[in-house]
Chain A
């Protein structure tokens, strides 16, 4: 099975990084989350309900809809916050990328650890610009808002191709496909990682892999 890879690029000002990343990641996860599965006897299950809420950005003329789940929002904010800090520490011409990877777990025999097989990876390349005055910032608010609209349309287009999705799992295998740790929604298993390129662009100075769900522990 080949992993589907999608790449998006945005140019934002420093203070817009967080909101732009959250908008894109939340839009992807809105499509990749279901209600909680409740398994019953005889192997049947019922599905909970996913709520949504609109979020206005403060630094971008943009509003996006996300899943109503504080836990999910916190997890994303944590990852995006680290990415933003790393980007801003890297130098004035920071270029970086943040990746959202959906994967399935495949059980392996002892002593081998479970294998994580990605089936969809979204990469967002970020180019941080520095603006000189408030007038340029004002224009940037709108331009970035328009660009994010385009990105949302791109994401929706990919989602509605109805390409490979993991099969609905049985109760014993649900943790291999879905993240069942949240109390109100159930996204597909995902992890977020990022890379920062320094201003020279020639080498990767910092590569950090941050696992939201630790799947590699034995």
Chain B
């Protein structure tokens, strides 16, 4: 029941939830691109940053999210889900994570929408930024490239967890109570990463086909297509038709913002805590065309002022350029590329065993894997003597969620400190192993040397005889030198 919620608060809340859902999708997909994300802080509000956080909007992702939402908002029984899966070059795929944005019926009538809910949604997004880096799929996504890619799929409705395998873990990112219900953001992730496929790992060219061809058939007939988590720069974006301006299917056609309330302004009172007004001063809205006044808990009035611009442009944060080609201008985002999807590594010079493939232990034995190499597959350390075992069991912390136990999947990859493979296709350890034992120079071989020496000795008398015949020529030559 939202009879206690006035219409303006209702509009604000719907808008917050909508843009929170869009930003949630952006954070999740960007965290699975395989690159480090970097956005700049700005002391001056730019007028385009929802929840006071610099989160870039990839137009394709926004388009997919809006398509999945289809004008609806997450509500009780209708969750927005982002599915992250892995697809190998052989075509085998495996679901890794399901991120769920849900709403339940537990309402918080007393909470202030434009202040408390907004700030708590901002906090929840920060938590999402932190949590997306700690689930197992993050490390897999950082290594994607030749052998596999990470795909995402957005759907709306009932959560489908069956693809995660048995014993999946759940981590709750956080909750925010609102007058309409409690928003919950959580992640269910697979822990059993044992690969089902019986196909052999072969050297294959980069999976260009999957990257280019977005649409992959899924077992669920009503499901949305999968998309690669593969960022293309603005230069590469060939102006795909992602409508960003004047989307007529927007749910919230309120006058709240063409730019989000990062220009939230608080008329704090000097000299003490102001009394709590019982009603937001909506009367001022008549004076300022898009001014929303709401009352935060501490009593200070909290208003959102938006610049006067066209009223019906429901753009998403920084897509104010109106075109889909270059919406990245307002946020100075720096993407640090670690491994590009189209990078051609000199793979014919690198053995299978020295690559960072996560399923190396399942590769066939005809390839010389370093099974016996203690650097890759360390023997079990003794339980008693090693200080490592005893001291790494920390007892503290009341964490209800368990850690990332990779019981079925252990890959020990030798990484020297500070090693990076941005420039060379192999890391220092691999390079060292490769070139540790170079072949011996043939001229230094004893057999060949001995053989030539014997031949030389045999031919010596003949050579001496020839030279003795030419003694006069040699003498004449010597005289010319003097």
Chain A residues proximal to chain B, CB less than 8 Å: 7-11, 15, 27, 30-31, 34-36, 38-40, 42-54, 56, 58-59, 61, 63-65, 67-69, 125, 127, 129-132, 134-136, 138-144, 146-157, 159-160, 162, 167-172, 183-185
By a CB distance below 8 angstroms, the chain A residues around B375 are 134-135, 138
Is B345 interfacial (CB-CB < 8 Å)?
no
Which of under 10, 10 to 19, 20 to 34, or 35 or more describes the interface residues of B?
Answer: 35 or more
Q: Are A63 and B138 in contact (CB under 8 A)?
A: yes
Given contacts A9-B395, A63-B138, A140-B388, contact A50 B52 (CB under 8 A): yes
A132 to B223, CA, bound (A): 52
Is B321 interfacial (CB-CB < 8 Å)?
no
Is B123 interfacial (CB-CB < 8 Å)?
yes
Closest to A152 in B: B134
By a CB distance below 8 angstroms, the chain A residues around B263 are 46
Could you say which of A10, A49, A138 has the most chain B C-beta atoms within 10 Å of its C-beta? A49
Q: Are A56 and B36 in contact (CB under 8 A)?
A: yes
Is B396 interfacial (CB-CB < 8 Å)?
yes
A66 to B467, CA, bound (A): 83
A68 CB to closest chain B CB (Å) equals 5
Could you say which of A42, A130, A162, A183 has the most chain B C-beta atoms within 10 Å of its C-beta? A162
Q: Are B265 and A44 in contact (CB under 8 A)?
A: yes
A171 to B381, CA, bound (A): 59
Instruction: Choose the segment among B2-10, B167-175, B443-451 that binds chain A (4+ C-beta atoms closer than 8 Å).
Output: B167-175
Given contacts A150-B399, A157-B399, contact A31 B265 (CB under 8 A): no
Q: Can you name 22 A-B pairs with beta carbons within 8 Å?
A: A30-B130, A35-B43, A35-B52, A44-B267, A49-B41, A49-B42, A52-B37, A68-B38, A131-B387, A136-B388, A144-B392, A147-B394, A150-B402, A157-B172, A157-B400, A157-B401, A160-B124, A162-B120, A168-B300, A169-B268, A170-B270, A184-B41
Residue from the list A56, A64, A159, A167 in contact with B297, Cβ < 8 A: A167
Given contacts A44-B268, A129-B387, A157-B400, contact A185 B297 (CB under 8 A): no
Is B59 interfacial (CB-CB < 8 Å)?
no
Q: Are B174 and A11 in contact (CB under 8 A)?
A: no
By a CB distance below 8 angstroms, the chain A residues around B222 are none
Q: Are A52 and B397 in contact (CB under 8 A)?
A: no
For residues 173 through 208 of chain B, which have their beta carbon under 8 Å from a beta carbon of chain A? 173-177
Q: Are B418 and A58 in contact (CB under 8 A)?
A: yes
Given contacts A35-B41, A38-B44, A46-B263, contact A160 B127 (CB under 8 A): yes
Is B248 interfacial (CB-CB < 8 Å)?
no
Given contacts A130-B387, A135-B375, A139-B381, contact A45 B265 (CB under 8 A): yes
Given contacts A48-B41, A48-B52, contact A7 B396 (CB under 8 A): yes
A39 to B53, CA, bound (A): 19
The 5 closest A-B pairs by CB, nearest first: A160-B174, A9-B396, A44-B265, A167-B298, A170-B268
By a CB distance below 8 angstroms, the chain A residues around B374 are 135
By a CB distance below 8 angstroms, the chain A residues around B177 are 162
B-side interface mostly:
loop
Q: Are A31 and B127 in contact (CB under 8 A)?
A: yes
Residue from the list B39, B135, B265 in contact with A68, Cβ < 8 A: B39
By a CB distance below 8 angstroms, the chain A residues around B268 are 39, 43-45, 168-171
A131 to B126, CA, bound (A): 35
By a CB distance below 8 angstroms, the chain A residues around B265 are 40, 44-46
Could you say which of B135, B387, B402 has the most chain A C-beta atoms within 10 Å of its C-beta? B387
By a CB distance below 8 angstroms, the chain B residues around A52 are 37-39, 53-54, 126, 129
Is B360 interfacial (CB-CB < 8 Å)?
no
By a CB distance below 8 angstroms, the chain B residues around A134 are 375, 414
By a CB distance below 8 angstroms, the chain B residues around A167 are 273, 297-298
Q: Are B174 and A156 in contact (CB under 8 A)?
A: yes
Residue from the list A49, A65, A129 in contact with B388, Cβ < 8 A: A129
Is B372 interfacial (CB-CB < 8 Å)?
no
Q: Are A149 and B269 in contact (CB under 8 A)?
A: no
Q: Are B131 and A69 in contact (CB under 8 A)?
A: no
B102 CB to closest chain A CB (Å) equals 15
Is B264 interfacial (CB-CB < 8 Å)?
yes
Residue from the list A11, A49, A59, A151 in contact with B397, Cβ < 8 A: A151
Closest to B44 in A: A48
Q: Are B171 and A153 in contact (CB under 8 A)?
A: yes
Is B386 interfacial (CB-CB < 8 Å)?
yes
Q: Are B262 and A47 in contact (CB under 8 A)?
A: yes
Is B163 interfacial (CB-CB < 8 Å)?
no
Q: Are A48 and B133 in contact (CB under 8 A)?
A: no
Q: Are A147 and B262 in contact (CB under 8 A)?
A: no
For residues 11 through 66 of chain B, which have their beta carbon under 8 Å from a beta carbon of chain A? 36-46, 49, 52-54
Q: Are A159 and B38 in contact (CB under 8 A)?
A: no
Is B89 interfacial (CB-CB < 8 Å)?
no
